[in-house]
Structure 1
């Protein structure tokens, strides 16, 4: 299987349905600068290049939505994912754009935009290790990022195994990846595109194969085990309905005019 095929197919389902930042605000609109809370690094969604420039899929979508469609200034504000919803509701930024899965638990505390990406929780392992099926994870340590749906998927797997699974939680996903390479965990459970980006850069890391949630849901399943099927959304405080509707209109516009597809192809095709 082509290693880059790990990254294909994730956003396509949502694409048919809605830069630069972070060295400061961008010009192009009136009113207050929109502050965007985001967990960085989370490649390929938001990460810094060697010169410090913030790039990524979410970063380019933000430019298309806020800069081009809405004509507004905006800036990204780095924050830990584990406390990102509390930070939003405490007024530390206007919204969250951080590869965040829409789910019922989070929807009790925030309101979400229309979905703009589809993802799956997946498992990566060392190619020459002793893990070749989901059942092989019983009794093993798995790495996850705190506060993510990857952590939730791992907890679900632990329950499926009758508690016979140990979770090692890290503040950032890079910590879990390092632990895998150092044999401190046997696997990492995380979003398919982020896992795929890491596997694409490390020849000794592969996806754990097998059928799972995507095939169970009747979707065209990717060629690896999927523990969940999820949609990403932009999160807002629950008193920000008018602004959320404006953002939804802008998301719809970039899907309609082809900008979304162009950005998507920069990160998840070829």
Structure 2
């Protein structure tokens, strides 16, 4: 059974420019100080090195609930966080979250500027992003979904003619919405992050929003005056991100892939999946 059907039951100029901007910031940003490891090459035995000894620094863009977000105590938690904790454990390290602009992750700028060892931001693997970053094996299936207010009467993109639809910048949902704009006659409103995008539906700033089904269904569950009326079969898969054309990035991706395989075999991946989505992971 796919994630979509189970969820019904329970619930991406420039890398160089961004890298320069990040480099200018130096390593004084919170959670991004430099370390004894260079991060540019794997150890002689092929094992990866980390930017900070004993710390796996993971870049993400908050908030993207339930994949990565702050709980009531201010701690960053979520599905991606738990899976990357398994990778950190395999490396004999602890995970440290670096909250940063999503486009700087997918452009590879954060890796060029040595801001983090890995990226984990519920990121769809696609050819454009593969030009800038190295992906792990797929770890999660996703598709796009339409969020509207209840009783809006909007059940598909065709019902948005003359209306406004919100998207999150640099996402595959934004790409999908732009691709279908002319055929459906709606206006696209771009938001910087997920919370403000989906809150735009709640406040009436936009008539609908499109984003990944996992986060959209989660929002509708927490905000019962909204609902998901349509899913679009975009066939997406998420991957964790690493520095491309780099021995150390390749080594980190290799360890991550090993952890994904092992966790699916021993049931720990399923435990994490069920914790955040309330159902067993697809087989």
TM-score with structure 1 length normalisation?
A: 0.80
1:41 equivalent in structure 2 = 63
Residue matched to 1:84:
105
Superposed counterparts of 1:118-267, under 5 Å: 118-161=141-184, 164-209=185-230, 225-238=231-244, 239=246, 240-267=249-276
Give yes or no for contact 1:145–1:172 (8 Å, CA) kept in 2.
yes
Quote how far apart the aligned CAs of 1:263 are.
Answer: 0.4
Give ranges in structure 1 of 5+ residues lacking alignment.
Answer: 11-21, 210-224
Bigger Rg, which one: 2
Residues 37, 88 of structure 1: 8 Å contact kept: no
Seen in structure 2, the aligned counterparts of structure 1 residues 9 and 182 have a Cα distance that, compared at 3 Å, is closer
2:132 to 109, 128, 153: 109
Which whole-Å deviations, capped at 9, do the CAs of 1:200-254 have from their partners, x for residues lacking one? 0111111123xxxxxxxxxxxxxxx225121000011111212211221111111
Q: Equivalent residue for 2:88? A: 66
More displaced stretch, 164-173 vs 80-89:
80-89
Kindly indicate whether residue 104 of structure 2 is the aligned counterpart of residue 95 of structure 1: no
What is residue 23 of structure 2 aligned with on the other side? none
* 1:32 Cα offset (Å): 4.6
Normalising by structure 2, report the TM-score.
0.76
Aligned positions, number: 235
**CA distance in 1: counterparts of 2:251 and 2:155, whole angstroms:** 49
Q: Aligned with 1:143: secondary structure?
A: strand
Question: Helix, strand or coil: the match of 2:96?
Answer: strand
CA 1:152–1:116 in 2, change beyond 3 Å: closer, same or farther?
A: same
Query: Which 5+ residue runs of structure 2 have no aligned equivalent?
Result: 12-29, 34-49
Quote the offset at 1:138 in angstroms.
2.3
User: SS of 2:236's equivalent?
Assistant: strand
Shift of 1:91: 2.0
